[in-house]
């Protein structure tokens, strides 16, 4: 398996995704036409930039090898390549999904399995 990629899902939308077996992304994802993912080295910065102060976030780890041609690595911030999924996420590719709580300092507390 390749290294996991990560998505910051809205907690309110996640139960519907698990019931249907597919996730269609956040409102921002749907507006952009793809589901935004981050590599392990970028996910903390993405959370700080796009979900700062939000406690209603689910961190979703996905096996990118199961996403096929719909997954594209494209330049974003400063030319850094980010994974974008053009289509719904089939939950069979999800390795795990966990709430992403805020610590006392207001910063998201990532699981130990996600390197700093």
pLDDT in tens, 75-100: 987 888 999 999 999 999 999 999 99
Return phi, psi of residue 72, to 5°. -125, 135
Residues 6 or more apart in contact with residue 60 via CB below 8 angstroms: 6, 7, 8, 9, 14, 23, 89, 94, 96, 97
**Tens-digit pLDDT profile for the chain (116 aa)?**
569 999 999 999 999 999 999 999 999 999 999 999 999 999 999 999 999 999 999 999 999 999 999 999 999 878 889 999 999 999 999 999 999 999 999 999 999 888 87
Identify the architecture of domain 5-99 in CATH.
Alpha-Beta Barrel (3.20)
For the chain, the distance separating the N- and C-terminal CA atoms, rounded to the nearest angstrom, is: 21
Q: Is the pTM of this model over 0.95?
A: no
């Amino acid at each position: 398996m390749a290294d996991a990629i990560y998505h910051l899902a809205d907690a309110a939308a996640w139960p519907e995704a698990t019931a249907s077996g597919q996730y269609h992304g956040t409102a921002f994802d749907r507006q952009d036409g793809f589901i935004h993912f981050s590599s392990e080295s970028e996910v903390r910065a993405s959370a700080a930039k796009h979900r700062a102060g939000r406690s209603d976030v689910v961190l979703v780890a996905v096996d990118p090898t199961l996403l096929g041609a719909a997954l594209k690595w494209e330049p974003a911030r400063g030319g850094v390549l980010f994974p974008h999924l053009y289509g719904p996420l089939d939950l069979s590719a999800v390795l795990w999904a966990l709430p992403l709580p805020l610590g006392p300092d207001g910063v998201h507390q990532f699981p130990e399995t996600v390197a700093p």
